[in-house]
Structures are given as structure tokens and as C-alpha cells.
Amino acid sequence: MSGLSRSSHALVTGGGRGIGRAIAASLVQAGATVTIMGRNLAVLNEVVAAGDAHYAVAADVSDQTALNAAIADAGKRQPIDILVANAGAAESAPFMKSDAALFQRMMDVNFMGVVYATQAVLPEMVKRKSGRIVAVASTAGLKGYGYVSAYSAAKHAVIGIVRSVALEVAKSGVTVNAVCPGFTETDLLEGSIDNIMSKTGRTREQAVAELAKHNPQGRLVTPGEVADAVLWLCGAGAGSITGQSIAVAGGEV
């Protein structure tokens, strides 16, 4: 990709599978040094062994102390120039059956994980007057979906923090953006498909079609398509793009 420094060090949270792994692999191919973070070190090491990342650090993004320690460890090798805050989780339930614990879980992982990671890397980026922060949000942060109110609220919060932080650091050389995938072919989506099948008796093909119908193109998004958008935002050519929430969703939003 044009404009990505080959000396860049990128940190990708939730880099062990799905969208995160696709982003990590794209950054590697573009010449960056890539460290991935997740909770399962064995899974992360498999990604490294496959050549889709260079280093792995284990941490739960909702645990600020553990996250800070892991990012400090990664930064010892080389300052972090790019943060892709991708780690996330999704749970579905009717709003009337969504208790405080469900809302807290969704906020801790999907929102506070972005906040903690951004706070950990931003001071040094501002000091160096250079950096790229990309949060992987969701179309659920741009519109509502039934039965995922807690998830949607957390993703809306991610977009809010992206817009605010982007303004605070606009003159620093650091950009802060979000990409908002629609329903994407990932392990996380498989859980939604299983949920539809178990609750409605539909076949897998029918369950996939139920999700794909939200996309005007009539299909699911691929992880590689999300990775391409992230890669562009990480490059020098996107230096004037900040505070944006870019939907990768076939025209859904």
C-alpha cells in the first residue's frame, strides 16, 4: 500500500482471528512490523508462525493493568506507530432481558478496550507528532439493530470517542478513525448464525441469508475488505482523514 512506512510498528488487538488477523496480515504484507494482542497466546503464536504477524502479547483489553503492561512490553522493541483497536465481543438478547451485567460486558470489551489501548499509545504518538489509530467499530455504531442493544450502544460509544479524540489531537500529526463493518464472515458471526438457527429452526443457509439481507449487495463482507480500509487509513495518503467512521457494508449505511 502506498504511503505506509516500512519502519512502522503496528499493534493489532484481537489479532488472533477474523478481521484482526486479516488486518495484521495486510500490515505485514505492506512492510510494517506487527504485534498482535489477544487473550489466547497459543492462538496468537499460531498466527505468528503462519507469517501473519511478527510478535504476540497476551492481554484482555478490558483489563487496563494487563493491557498497559502488554503494550509497554511491545513498545520496548519499537515505538508503536499504528494502533488498530479491533478486539470485540457480541452478545444478543432482547432489551427487556438485557441486564446491567450484559451492558457492562459489552462496554468493557468493545468500548473501554478501545479507550485503554488509545490512552496507552497516544502520549508517545503525540510526542513524536506522528501516529495512526483505527478502531474497528461496526455498522451497529451507526444505526440500530434489534436484540443487540448493549453491543450497539458500545459501538456507538466507540464512534463518539473516535470523533472527540481526533479533534483533540488534530494538530499533532496523529489521526484517529473508525471502520464500521457490516455483517462479516468471521468466527464472531458464526455465533450469531448458530443463535438464529437454534431460536428459529432455520437452516444455516437461511440464517446467513437473514444476515446478508441487511447488505444491499446481498452478501456478507469479507475480513480482507475491512483490512483494506484499515490499511489505507494507516498510510501517509490518509493524513487528512481523521474523526471519520467509514462503513464497509455494501451501502447499508
Residues tagged active-site = 151
Q: In which order are the strands placed within the sheet that holds 9-13?
A: 55-58, 33-38, 9-13, 82-85, 131-136, 174-181, 245-248
Q: List, in sequence order, every residue forming a beta bridge with 33; answer none if it has no partner.
A: 9
Contact predicate 216/250, CB 8 Å: yes
3-state class (DSSP) for residue 125: helix
How far, in Å, are 49, 54, 90, 238 from residue 155 at the CA level? 32, 29, 10, 23
Q: Which helix (H) or strand (E) holds 149?
A: helix 149-168
Residue 101: count other Cβ atoms within 10 Å of its Cβ.
9
Q: Are 34 and 8 in contact (CB under 8 A)?
A: no
Residue identified by cell 441469508 is 209
Q: What's the half-sphere exposure (Cβ side, CA atoms, 13 Å) at 215?
A: 21
Between CA 195 and CA 104 the distance in angstroms is 21
Q: What is the DSSP string of 15-57?
A: TTSHHHHHHHHHHHHTT-EEEEEES-HHHHHHHHHTTS-SEEE
Element (H, E) at 181: strand 174-181
